[in-house]
Structure 1
Amino acid sequence: MNTRLILITILLPVISGCESYTRPLGVTNTTVASAKQGEDCRLIVFGLGDMADVTEAEAIRSGGITKLRNAEYHVHTFQGVGKECVTAHGE
């Protein structure tokens, strides 16, 4: 019993410190092929730093996309440190 309690005590802060999710930005245009991809990623350190451009402009520019198919917002952090990205797909 003590071993389980110690293990839970050690792992609980680790599990609660993980955050990872993906959210679509806008509507998907299925008539446009997904031939190109562009990303705009920013480093997150305890909530400080620049936010990724959720207007998708930087991701579209970095991928050379002229027609947008869809865009996604990704967050991957562990204990407040990680990155957030906006990924655009299109042609």
Structure 2
Amino acid sequence: MESRKVTVNNKIGLHARPAALFVQTASKFLSNISIEKAGKKVNAKSIMGIMALGVCQGDEITMFATGEDEKKAIDHLENLLINKLEEEYV
């Protein structure tokens, strides 16, 4: 299992379009992927799950992946959160 903590710094957190982009990216991987915020863990491939977490700017989340491409999945999702979403939504 691979896991990583990331602080979400984009202006609108993981709501609407950023959440959809996160789910689309997570869905490209074979691994089971989840994210956790404040003790609540959801499937990272579920838009409803991501939206239910209510991730806002400045929140710390932990991403978990289990499977054959777990490291690649976590690396890509971290890059998405830190680079792509911050560039577009800050």
TM, length-normalised to structure 1: 0.26
Larger Rg, first or second structure (1 or 2): 1
Point out the structure with the larger helix share.
Answer: 2
Point out the structure with the larger strand share.
Answer: 1
